[in-house]
Amino acid sequence: MSDKNIVLHVADVSKRFGGLKALTDVDLSVAEGTVHAIIGPNGAGKSTLLNVCIGRIRPDQGHVVFAGTTLDQQRPHEINQLGVSRVFQTPEIFPDLSLLDNVMIPAFAKRDGAYRFHALQSVESESEIRDSAEFHLGDVGLLERRHQLAGSLSRGDKRRLELAMCLIQKPKLLLLDEPTAGMSRHDTNMTIELLKRIKARGMTKVIIEHDMHVVFSLADRVSVLAQGRIIADGLPDEVRANPKVKEAYLGE
Ligand code: ADP
Ligand code: MG
């Protein structure tokens, strides 16, 4: 794996919350076009690591480098403009707006941000953004419900809506925090199929996941966090066979 293929590099990151060491000396390299899973028991520091990558939490030590840019000073919306999108563990949607509006808003925000920052000559029209929003709602299986209010959706459907809100931004890197949490087996399988389709489009993804079925059907590489430290990193089969991992996680 040569350096130039590394899209996201987490270098020696540590983070404390008071006396609690949430992350200790974490190193992680994510190669372009791959799906990199981060697994580990509850409280291992997975969401904290993701929040460090998107600028919501500042590390006490270490750096995050995305596509050659060190993210130390960037604010979350600037990191988003660089091409990093994320799906949170708890969906962040606009409950009083329609599904269609929910998906169009991030596209407008991205367009207007890009326009301001880069003074683009041509920008997407509202009807192009609407077409794109409908495409992505179709992608996540919610197109027929596009005029419903987002607040009326089930928890699993809200997560799929949030995924469409990310996909419309055409991120270079998509970070997913337990994307199938709260979903039925049927919805989980649908989400796996969707994530496989996105993978075929070449988008790099970091996926935090508790569900082993999801991890082993999607991931190219797996890193295991336990008590804030990476205890294993490698191909899914290597990680699955690692006794330290079995002890820390699989036998939970
Ligand atoms: P995971 O996502 O792996 O379940 P988290 O990253 O959410 O774990 O949490 C790691 C540890 O840090 C946990 O012990 C959690 O209680 C603690 N923690 C997370 N966020 C905060 C915070 N903002 N303030 C204090 N403690 C926190
Ligand atoms: Mg978490």
pLDDT more than 90, % of the chain? 58
Tens of pLDDT along 177-222? 988 887 888 888 888 888 888 888 888 999 998 777 788 889 999 9
Across 113-127, 139-153, 212-226, the highest mean pLDDT is recorded for 139-153
- Residue 213 CA to residue 227 CA, distance in Å, equals 23
Q: Which CATH number does the domain 1-83+174-182+204-252 belong to among 3.40.50.10470, 3.40.50.300, 1.10.287.3510, 3.20.20.70?
A: 3.40.50.300
Residue 17, pLDDT score: 97
Q: Which helix (H) or strand (E) holds 167?
A: helix 155-167
Residue 202, pLDDT score: 82
Residues ≥6 apart with Cβ < 8 Å to 25:
12, 13, 14, 62, 229
- Residue 1 CA to residue 108 CA, distance in Å, equals 36
Residue 2, pLDDT score: 52
pLDDT tier at 122, thresholds 50, 70, 90: low
Residues ≥6 apart with Cβ < 8 Å to 120:
114
ipTM higher than the 0.90 cut: yes
Start-to-end Cα distance in the chain: 32
Tens of pLDDT along 48-98? 999 999 999 999 999 999 999 999 888 988 898 899 998 876 668 999 999
Ligand 1 pocket mutation, candidates 14, 38, 39, 48, criterion most atoms within 8 A of CB? 48
Between helix 99-118 and helix 155-167 the angle, nearest 10°, is 30
Q: How many CB atoms lie within 10 A of CB 14?
A: 17
Compute, in angstroms, the gap from residue 3 CA to the centroid of ligand 1. 31
Ligand 1 pocket mutation, candidates 10, 17, 86, 252, criterion most atoms within 8 A of CB? 17
Phi-psi group of 182: left, alpha or beta (phi > 0 → left; psi -120 to 50 → alpha; rest → beta): left
**Nearest CA residue ID for atom 17, ligand 1:** 22
Least confident of 49-58, 70-79, 128-137, 227-236: 70-79
- Residue 87 CA to residue 146 CA, distance in Å, equals 20
Tens of pLDDT along 177-186? 988 887 888 8
**Nearest CA residue ID for atom 19, ligand 1:** 48
Query: Which two structure tokens, joined as six digits, stand for 159?
Result: 């997560």
pLDDT tier at 115, thresholds 50, 70, 90: low
The pTM (predicted TM-score) of the whole model is 0.88
Q: Is residue 194 within 8 Å of residue 10, measured between CB atoms? A: no
The domains of the chain are located at: 1-83+174-182+204-252, 91-170
